[in-house]
Structure 1
Amino acid sequence: MSAPPTAARSAQGHGHRPHRNFRLLLVGETTSKLGISVTSVLLPLVAVTTLHASPFMMGVLTAAPWLPWLVLGLPAGAWVDRLAPRPVMLVCNAVSAAVFVSVPVTWWLGALTMGHLLAAALIEGAASVFFSTAYSSYLPLLVPRGELMGRNAQLQAGDQAARVAGPGLGGLIAQTAGGVPGLLLNAATFLVSSLCLMAIRGAAPRPAPAPRRPLAREIADGLRFVTGDPWVRAVTGFGAAVNLAMAGFQAVQIVFLVRTLGVGSDTLGWLVSCGGLGGVLGGLAAGRLARRLGSARALLVVQFTAAPFGLLAPFAGPGPRLGFFVAGTVVMFAGVVACNVVIVSFRQAYCPPELLGRVTATTLFLNYGTIPLGALLGGSLASLLGARTTLWAVTAALIAAGGFLLVGPLRGLRDLPGAPATEG
């Protein structure tokens, strides 16, 4: 797919209120992410306090939203490429809202069970698979290709801000309204997201899908593109390795803070939120760094400048030495989010539009598939070696993840390519 037709589609489709359309998308997405962040506190709280779930069941509940990626991640890309993205997103929002309404309704009827919570987490996770895949295909229809970096940076900053505010808001809602009724807030955020999507006008027309073929062949097209293209292969391997390391870090950080350092619950919340604050800063800085350094150089500079700061976290101790944890997590998370902005923007501009859903689903399948593995490895290492030693290991692994960028074709380049070369 050559670059000029893509540029022509962008110019044609973005002439009608592009900034208004993006603002609507940003407000809807940030609102729903805030609801999801609140739910990340409320759902486990309901399981523990209302249903008295065992530690094993809590682990299952934590893993449940990610499991659909392992089952549906690849076929979701092929299905989304056959459909218009906005209707897919609206259906996913409706399903997610209904799921979170069902929990308080069942509780009020006296029939809430742990099985219901697990089913809710699985169904919402499945909806998230399709929503995330369609969403990545929808953004290039709303904004010109040259603005993708800046717009993705704003979306990432909103996402991280929601992650910072969500846990505290979730605790406040649990204290005032109760954990189960508080889940209605998440249902309302999906409604806001849908209203914003329905208000968008003048998006670029979606490219006509290719004639349908067997699902397995369409999935294979996405896999072949991701594994065969050197640029996409390098950033996908990097993303999977980063998620592996970060999942291990997040699985151990609370154990480290509470049991190793003796941090109280009043301090724990804001220490954990420091990562989200770093993510906000990284999202805001990503576009500026990419413009100043070039997207390829920015990816390398950010990774090898920010990731080593993670090594400060294991130096933390009681009192003023908690500053090591704060500085390490703020800069480390800022680097992770900034790199993610660059990679997502590259993928949206580079991949052929008719393949974007499958390529997105394949990369997310590979990237998200390492999250439960990283959490399991982090927990196992902490049991064997202790939390502090495990933090050394996972932060070192985060630095090593940059090797995927060094062995790929990025070295010596200023910018990542904006569109694949046309085959002769």
Structure 2
Amino acid sequence: MVTKPVSPWDSPGFLRFWTASTVSGFGTYVTTLAIQVLIVLSLHQGSVAVGLVSAARWLPYLLFGLVAGVLIDRTRRRPLLVATDLGRGVLLVGIPLLAVTHQLTLSVLMAFMAVFGLMSLLNDAAFQSYVPRLVPTNLLTAAHARLDQSDAVSQTSGPALAGGLVSLLTAPWAILVDAASYLVSGILLMRISVAEPPGQPLSIRGVRQDAVEGLRWVYKHPTLRLIALNTHGWFLCSAVVGAVMPAFALRTLDLSPFGLGLALAGGGVGGLAGSLAATRLGARWGSGRVIVACRALSAVSWSFVALSTPHWYGWLVFGAGQLLFGFSLGAENANEMGYRQAVTPDRLQGRMNATMRSINRAMIVIGAPVGGFLGDTIGYRPMLWAGAGGFLVVALALGLSRFRDART
């Protein structure tokens, strides 16, 4: 008699998958801060440059996102996860090597991040679509909550460690930590032995038809369409504030890289608390209401950031904003992912995930450079207020739609 899993940990392969995700996620938060400091302090650039590098990082999602979704649904997902983790690890080693030889420029960094983004596109789509093959449908929200919890712990310690590493080793060398984390993650994923369906042949006509089918599934579904369109708006606002925030913190608030890392670590603490509460909140209030509330909380959190000043109490307000934002992400993500995957059949998981992610990242390609330009032109603080207002509009729009009643 086969015992039905009652927890994600009971499912074969989930522990190794979770461990690999935790290790690579830890390194990712190191690189996130290190790249921002590298641009502002080492390359002596402003928020426009931060926006351009961010746009380069996410451009492959705009160009190849739909094709990636088709590929994920027609191939075994674990080999793609392994290959892209190992590839990203090797790629990131090049950044400190170029920096030490004084050949690292903004354009070279953008090129590196574009290639990194292409591999991340494939990895992200395969990662999200692999979870339903590891755990049963009724455990999807719990599985994503466990993944979010470890990610929150990584976010808590990663930026603080990154700030210390950047101060001690300089930003380029701190990126080696992320390179090592991807290599370890790839090795762990090799050891998962969960069976997958065999791959299917690809053709140009078949790719087009499959991509269209994925688009129709997302944008004609009565509730997926609502959350997809609303999330696109959320990512546009996030791109604007994300491009402005590093320069605002380092220049306007006069935070050190270590101080910025500590503040961002507050987001990890909030994320951990949110992810721990996500399953219970979703069960009691429903996925739709939880997501709406979390998006309203995003507006509040960025209002705190906009109110912060270059004094110790202003730094606490900045950190509180990051804490609240992290909580909103932690409580929302597991409920959103659990709902999206629960209503989507396995054969469409890759296309559903890649379609939504590609358009979301297209919002970053648009919003990050525009936000950076406007931040350098009219000021960082006004753009932070504009982003907070945008988050509020997004929350109100979703709250007034039928999605508020959605449940997993």
Tell me which interval the TM-score lies in, with the shorter structure as reference length.
0.7 to 0.9
258-267 or 225-234, which moves further after superposition?
A: 258-267
In structure 2, how many angstroms separate the alpha carbons of the residues matched to 1:210 and 1:350?
26
- Residue 24 (str. 1) matches residue 16 (str. 2): yes
188-197 or 155-164, which moves further after superposition?
A: 155-164
Task: Please say if residues 14 and 204 of structure 1, whose CA atoms lie closer than 8 Å, have aligned partners that are also in contact.
Answer: no
* Residue number in structure 1 paired with 2:120: 128
In structure 2, how many angstroms separate the alpha carbons of the residues matched to 1:158 and 1:107?
31
In structure 1, how many angstroms separate the alpha carbons of the residues matched to 2:239 and 2:50?
16
Q: Find the partner of 1:360 among 329, 335, 353.
A: 353
Q: Deviation digits for residues 252-306 of structure 1, max 9, x if unmatched?
A: 2344445444545554332333233322222222112112222223223433456
311-320 or 256-265, which moves further after superposition?
A: 256-265
Deviation at 1:389, TM superposition (A): 2.8
Q: Deviation digits for residues 35-58 of structure 1, max 9, x if unmatched?
A: 2222234446667787x5755666
Matches for 1:248-287 after TM superposition, within 5 Å: 248-263=240-255, 267-287=259-279
- Counterpart of 1:410 in 2: which secondary structure? helix
* Residue number in structure 1 paired with 2:181: 189
Deviation at 1:244, TM superposition (A): 1.5
* Residue number in structure 1 paired with 2:325: 332
Q: Structure 1: which 5+ residue stretches go unaligned? A: 1-9, 419-424
* Residue number in structure 2 paired with 1:4: none
In structure 2, how many angstroms separate the alpha carbons of the residues matched to 1:380 and 1:66?
18
Deviation at 1:220, TM superposition (A): 0.8
Deviation at 1:182, TM superposition (A): 4.2
120-129 or 264-273, which moves further after superposition?
A: 264-273
Q: Deviation digits for residues 86-127 of structure 1, max 9, x if unmatched?
A: 01111111221221234456677x585436544332221111
Deviation at 1:222, TM superposition (A): 1.0
* Residue number in structure 2 paired with 1:237: 229
* Residue number in structure 1 paired with 2:286: 294
Let me know the Cα RMSD of the aligned residues. 3.3
Distance change in 2, residues 1:191/1:259 (3 Å): closer
* Residue number in structure 2 paired with 1:222: 214
Distance change in 2, residues 1:14/1:328 (3 Å): closer
Amino acid at match of 1:193: S
* Residue number in structure 1 paired with 2:75: 83
Deviation at 1:149, TM superposition (A): 0.8
Q: Find the partner of 2:335 among 308, 322, 342.
A: 342
In structure 1, how many angstroms separate the alpha carbons of the residues matched to 2:257 and 2:168?
18
Distance change in 2, residues 1:125/1:247 (3 Å): same
In structure 2, how many angstroms separate the alpha carbons of the residues matched to 1:263 and 1:342?
34
Q: Find the partner of 2:28 among 36, 43, 48.
A: 36
In structure 2, how many angstroms separate the alpha carbons of the residues matched to 1:390 and 1:116?
28
In structure 2, how many angstroms separate the alpha carbons of the residues matched to 1:297 and 1:60?
35
In structure 2, how many angstroms separate the alpha carbons of the residues matched to 1:266 and 1:172?
6
- Residue 393 (str. 1) matches residue 393 (str. 2): no
Amino acid at match of 2:267: G
Distance change in 2, residues 1:208/1:266 (3 Å): closer
Q: Find the partner of 1:408 among 388, 401, 408.
A: 401
Q: How does the TM-score come out when normalised to structure 1?
A: 0.83
Amino acid at match of 1:388: R
390-399 or 35-44, which moves further after superposition?
A: 35-44
Q: Deviation digits for residues 204-232 of structure 1, max 9, x if unmatched?
A: 64488699652111111111111111211
Deviation at 1:360, TM superposition (A): 0.7
In structure 2, how many angstroms separate the alpha carbons of the residues matched to 1:247 and 1:20?
37
In structure 1, how many angstroms separate the alpha carbons of the residues matched to 2:41 and 2:386?
34
- Counterpart of 2:402 in 1: which secondary structure? coil
Structure having the higher Rg: 1
Q: Structure 2: which 5+ residue stretches go unaligned? A: none
Deviation at 1:131, TM superposition (A): 0.5
Task: Please say if residues 36 and 246 of structure 2, whose CA atoms lie closer than 8 Å, have aligned partners that are also in contact.
Answer: no
Distance change in 2, residues 1:208/1:230 (3 Å): farther
Q: Find the partner of 1:99 among 91, 95, 98.
A: 91
58-67 or 138-147, which moves further after superposition?
A: 58-67
